[in-house]
Amino acid sequence: MEVNEILQMNKESWEKSAERFFGRAALPEYGPLAPREDQLNLLGNISNKTVLDIGCGSGHSLKYMAINGARELWGLDLSTKQIETATSLLHDQPVPVSLFESAMEEDPGLPENYFDIVYSVYAIGWTWDLKQTFSNISCYLKKDGIFIFSWEHPIHDRLSYKDSEYIFQKSYVKEGPELNEAWNNTAVTYQRKFSTYINTLIETGFSVEKIIDDVVLPESITDDPAKWYSAQKAQLVPATFIVKAKKR
């Protein structure tokens, strides 16, 4: 499949599913079964900061940034529906809001050396070009600006629940585009080793400050072990990882 076909397939998939995700995968949460920003305090003081959300979805994370005093809110997302929803969610903010319908692999004309914080909650793994995406983010950030992102842990979907047990079903080391099972194979995401994320950050001008793959389990574990993000599975492997990096 050509890259343009993949982007188009993913866009169509997001236009259909966007509503299901409104307000999900948004700050202060970083993702399923993971610690939250109010526990981690990775962002620090947001007051007066200029922030950019990569894969901003329905705009709920940007709203969190506004509530915490951000000076300017910027976001980009591939999906028309997500940008429309984010525009309406953020229409009455007292600070400037700039939203772009764009793939993160492309620069929709964002200012360089401008942002204090760039972040992305559960969107980075959709990129077909990690190096280009991280290079763009590095350009947008001021020196010493911070970049925080979360995504599904690369080990998570290697393990499947079959016949009442978890089995290691796919290769961890094989990288590349895959039809995404959690999306009923109607979208393509990219399998990457954990080291690929970290080494690509280093290659594109970042120093890594913190990596979090702790698991936060509910008090009682009652859900279906076959569920995509189940607490049972999280007892074996993390569902989410979070990285904080700084532009060198």
Residues in contact with ligand SAM by CB under 6 A are 10, 14, 21, 25-26, 55-58, 60-61, 77-79, 82, 103-105, 121-123, 126-127
Q: Nearest approach, Cβ of 164 to ligand SAM (angstroms)? A: 30
SS3 248: coil
State which residue, 40 or 225, has the beta carbon closest to ligand SAM: 40
Is 179 or 236 the residue whose CB approaches ligand SAM more closely? 179
- CB of 215: closest distance to ligand SAM in angstroms? 19
By C-beta, is 166 or 229 nearer to ligand SAM? Answer: 229
CB of 22: closest distance to ligand SAM in angstroms? 7
Closest to 101 measured CA to CA, from 139, 59, 71, 130: 59
- Residue 248 CA, chain-centre distance (Å), reads 22
The beta-strand segments (E) located in the chain are: 50-54, 72-77, 97-101, 115-121, 141-152, 159-162, 165-168, 176-179, 188-191, 206-212, 240-247
CA atoms within 13 A on the CB side of 37: 22
Nearest residue to the partner ligand SAM, using Cβ: 57
User: Would residue 224 be called left, alpha or beta, if left means φ above 0 and alpha means ψ between -120 and 50 degrees?
Assistant: beta
- Cis-peptide into 177, omega within 30 deg: no
Beta carbon nearer to ligand SAM, 50 or 58 = 58
Taking the complex as a whole, how short is the minimal distance between the CB of residue 126 and ligand SAM, in angstroms?
3
C-alpha dihedral, 205 to 139 to 143 to 141, nearest 10°: -120
CB of 85 vs ligand SAM, minimal distance in Å: 9
Select 228 or 248, whichever has its Cβ closest to ligand SAM: 228
**Residue 70 has which token pair?**
């951000």
- Closer to ligand SAM by Cβ: residue 171 or 201: 201
Nearest-angstrom CA–CA distance, 168 and 157: 9
CB of 110 to ligand SAM, least distance (A): 13
